[in-house]
């Protein structure tokens, strides 16, 4: 690896005001333009068919895009046919504008307008490459010749727009803007604007793409701000951004570019596109959403969107993709699980107006994710808080703190031994097997109680198949049974911990009780009882705890 063969190929503005650095956050959404069907589609191993593009177009409408780049109609028959189908079958809603791309070449421009006949409203997107590398290596033309290409294309767009049935708005992109001297980028954009002469009623779009991301995000923002502050007809220009993700900073480039004057964003769902892709509009929109700004795009059923996207593009949304990935709201770490579980409980208790749960930047339910199985998942790294949360959320079991800890170690050891994640049902089955209604070595059969000064209780037990009656006294039925067990088994334990509640998951008529005991050697044991009768569930919990204590002894 020889780093000396690389140099910085971008150009800082001659003067930077850095006004964008004084802005805290984006206060309103940009004009969104999806380029999935053009820029995204051309990057697919197998580009979408006509039928697939029609289905994808409907998905974009459902999400809420009002501007959609539908293709490069002069490039192929499929692209041309797709656009004609949209127009002729009246598939474009009145409040949606389609966009098409064209190079600054006469036969391509004329073919493009032929494809647009009858369009209610369309953006015609003209581009030519302007960077030093493209000028010198690909086109071998001077700056003046590159300007001439742009100006001739702009004039032809104006001419064809006047001669073609339809309603057209013009857009110009100095492709490879980030590798272009900033003064030259300004000069060529202003030359195009002089041809189009935009007005308040006929605004044009100047799109400044990071065709290849070449700098840190603050440099792109400074370039955008310079163009915004020095461009002619600025009030009649919609300044558009089109970042790619070569440096992994597409989202940051876009957000800082918006602070610097960008009013419109071209991107794709989940960042599909050439090389590392376009900027991910899902991430951008939900970043705004997490700051309390309505992005005006609907991602409330992200799983459905992902399913359609993956089927039509044959691409895959990664597990760690921001917001959309399968695991992005999931905690395996014990400390994270504990914080999330406590945060969710705190929200219930406080009736919070604002979302502020640890480790969860937005409420997963807002994008159609469920708490069950999404937020907390259990493996060998998990903790008692997460395991307890899974049992409570899925099965209504609210374990005492000490029991959570004891069971947590058991679950972690099982996951570690089997080298796999444990599903909620598997965790529940482990709990049932270890703690619930344990019948060996002593099985509870029934009890009867009489009350004088104290409760006297006769409890029937089964040991090795033989039924025995043991008698005990105490200040209540459970205490009396407890004394009977200790006396007849020769046990001594204290610090009895007791908790009970209705079992809300499943049959609402059942009750669940938990009991913990500690013997004089410091050995602790927990048991759980479940029964339709609250007293019976308590007795079964006691027997379970005592049986497990005997098994340890």
270 φψ region: left (φ > 0), alpha (ψ -120 to 50), beta (else): left
> Which run of H or of E encompasses 487?
helix 477-489
68 and 195 part of one domain = yes
pLDDT in tens, 19-31: 999 999 999 999 9
pLDDT of 522 reads: 87
Distance between CA atoms of residues 461 and 547, nearest Å: 12
pLDDT of 376 reads: 72
Cβ–Cβ under 8 Å, residues 131 and 223: no
Dmax (CA) for the chain in angstroms is: 110
The side-by-side arrangement of strands in the sheet containing 511-519 is: 493-502, 511-519, 524-531
The side-by-side arrangement of strands in the sheet containing 455-463 is: 442-451, 455-463, 466-474
Distances (CA, A) of 215 to 182, 190, 250, 332, 432: 14, 24, 11, 36, 58
Mapped onto helix, strand or coil, the DSSP state of residue 541 is helix
Write the CB contacts of 475 (distance below 8 Å, at least 6 apart in sequence). 454, 455
pLDDT of 134 reads: 95
391 and 300 part of one domain = no
Cβ–Cβ under 8 Å, residues 514 and 498: yes
E strands, 261-376, where?
Answer: 264-267
Distance between CA atoms of residues 469 and 471, nearest Å: 7
275, exposed or middle or buried, with CB in 10 Å at 0-12, 13-18, 19+? exposed
pLDDT in tens, 341-366: 889 889 989 988 999 999 999 999 99
Q: What global pTM score does this model have? A: 0.80
236 and 354 part of one domain = no
pLDDT of 379 reads: 72
The domain of 69 spans 26-313
- Domain boundary pick from 389, 413, 434: 434
Q: Is residue 318 domain-resident? A: no
pLDDT of 508 reads: 62
Distance between CA atoms of residues 544 and 466, nearest Å: 19
E strands, 302-389, where?
Answer: none
397 and 343 part of one domain = yes
Cβ–Cβ under 8 Å, residues 243 and 278: yes
67 and 207 part of one domain = yes
Which CATH number goes with the domain that contains 119? 3.20.20.70
Mapped onto helix, strand or coil, the DSSP state of residue 92 is coil
User: Taking the CA atoms of the chain, what radius of gyration do you get in angstroms?
Assistant: 34
Write the CB contacts of 159 (distance below 8 Å, at least 6 apart in sequence). none
Please give the backbone phi and psi of residue 192, each rounded to the nearest 5 degrees, phi first: -65, -40
149 and 225 part of one domain = yes
Residues of the chain with pLDDT under 70: 372-374, 380, 383-384, 451-453, 504-508, 553
Q: Is residue 19 domain-resident? A: no
Distance between CA atoms of residues 505 and 428, nearest Å: 12
> Which run of H or of E encompasses 430?
helix 424-435
pLDDT of 482 reads: 93
pLDDT in tens, 469-498: 999 999 889 999 999 999 999 888 887 899
- Domain boundary pick from 434, 453, 486: 434
CA nearest to 31, candidates 68, 57, 56: 68
Please give the backbone phi and psi of residue 544, each rounded to the nearest 5 degrees, phi first: -60, -45
DSSP states along 160-212: HHHHSSEEEEEEEEEETGGGS-HHHHHHHHHHHHHHH--BTTB-EEEEEEESS
Mapped onto helix, strand or coil, the DSSP state of residue 40 is helix
Q: Is residue 501 domain-resident? A: yes
Q: Is residue 204 domain-resident? A: yes
Q: Is residue 157 domain-resident? A: yes
pLDDT of 22 reads: 92
Distance between CA atoms of residues 155 and 453, nearest Å: 106
Q: Is residue 124 domain-resident? A: yes
524 and 414 part of one domain = no
456 and 429 part of one domain = no
Cβ–Cβ under 8 Å, residues 330 and 375: yes
> Which run of H or of E encompasses 144?
helix 143-163
Q: Is residue 290 domain-resident? A: yes
Which CATH number goes with the domain that contains 537? 3.30.160.270
193 and 95 part of one domain = yes
154 and 50 part of one domain = yes
First CA to last CA across the chain, in angstroms? 64
- Peptide linkage before 441 cis (omega within 30 of 0): yes
The three-point CA angle 169-173-174 to 5° equals 150
Q: Is residue 426 domain-resident? A: yes
Cβ–Cβ under 8 Å, residues 71 and 79: yes
pLDDT of 309 reads: 98
Write the CB contacts of 251 (distance below 8 Å, at least 6 apart in sequence). 279, 280, 283, 284, 287, 322
Distance between CA atoms of residues 369 and 329, nearest Å: 9
222 and 283 part of one domain = yes
Distances (CA, A) of 374 to 222, 386, 411, 425: 40, 12, 18, 14
231 and 194 part of one domain = yes
Domain count, the chain: 3
Distance of CA 349 to the CA centre of its chain: 26
């Amino acid at each position: 690896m020889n780093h000396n063969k690389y140099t910085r190929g971008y150009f800082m503005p001659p003067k930077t005001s850095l006004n964008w650095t004084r802005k805290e956050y984006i206060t309103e959404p940009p004009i969104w333009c999806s380029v999935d069907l053009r820029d995204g589609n051309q990057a697919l191993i197998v580009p979408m068919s006509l039928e697939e593009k029609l289905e994808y177009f409907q998905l974009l409408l459902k999400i809420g895009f009002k501007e959609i780049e539908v293709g490069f109609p002069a490039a192929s028959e499929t692209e041309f046919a797709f656009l004609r189908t949209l127009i002729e079958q009246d598939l474009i809603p009145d409040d949606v504008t389609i966009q098409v791309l064209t190079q600054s070449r006469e036969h391509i421009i004329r073919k493009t307008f032929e494809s647009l006949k009858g369009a209610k409203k369309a953006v015609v997107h003209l581009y030519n490459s302007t960077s030093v590398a493209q000028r010198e290596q690909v086109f071998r033309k001077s700056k003046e010749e590159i300007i001439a290409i742009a100006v001739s294309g702009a004039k032809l767009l104006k001419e064809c727009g006047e001669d073609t049935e339809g309603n057209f708005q013009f857009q110009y992109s100095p492709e490879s803007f980030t590798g272009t001297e900033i003064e030259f980028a300004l000069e060529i954009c202003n030359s195009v604007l002089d041809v189009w002469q935009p007005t308040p009623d006929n605004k044009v779009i100047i799109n400044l793409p990071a065709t290849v991301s070449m700098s840190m995000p603050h440099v792109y923002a400074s370039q955008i701000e310079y163009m915004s502050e020095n461009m002619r007809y600025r009030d009649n220009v919609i300044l558009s951004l089109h970042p790619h993700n070569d440096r992994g900073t597409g989202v940051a480039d876009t957000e800082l570019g918006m602070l610097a004057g960008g009013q419109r964003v071209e991107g794709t769902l989940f960042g599909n596109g050439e090389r590392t892709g376009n900027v991910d509009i899902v991430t951008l929109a939900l970043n705004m959403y997490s700051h309390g700004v309505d992005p005006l795009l609907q991602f409330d059923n992200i799983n459905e969107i992902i399913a359609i996207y993956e089927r039509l593009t044959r691409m895959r949304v990664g597990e760690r993709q921001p917001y959309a990935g399968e695991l992005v709201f999931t905690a395996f770490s014990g400390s994270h699980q504990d914080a999330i579980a406590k945060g969710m409980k705190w929200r219930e208790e406080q009736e919070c107006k604002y979302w502020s749960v640890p480790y969860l930047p937005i409420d997963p339910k807002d994008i159609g994710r469920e708490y069950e199985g999404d937020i907390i998942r259990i493996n060998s790294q998990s903790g008692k808080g997460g395991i307890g949360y899974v049992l409570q959320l899925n099965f209504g079991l609210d374990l005492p703190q000490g029991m959570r800890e004891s069971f947590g170690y058991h679950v972690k050891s099982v996951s570690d031994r089997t080298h796999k994640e444990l599903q909620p049902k598997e965790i529940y089955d482990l709990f049932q097997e270890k703690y619930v209604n344990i019948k060996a070595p002593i099985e509870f059969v029934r009890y009867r109680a009489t009350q004088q000064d104290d409760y006297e209780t006769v409890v029937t037990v089964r040991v090795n198949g033989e039924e025995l009656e043991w008698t005990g006294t105490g200040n209540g039925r459970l205490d009396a049974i407890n004394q009977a067990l200790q006396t007849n088994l020769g046990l001594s334990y204290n610090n009895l911990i007791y908790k009970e509640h209705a079992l809300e998951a499943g049959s609402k008529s059942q009750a669940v009780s938990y009991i913990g005991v500690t013997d004089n050697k410091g050995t602790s044991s927990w048991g759980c009882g479940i029964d339709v009768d609250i007293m019976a569930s308590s007795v079964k919990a006691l027997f379970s705890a005592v049986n497990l204590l005997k098994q340890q002894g």
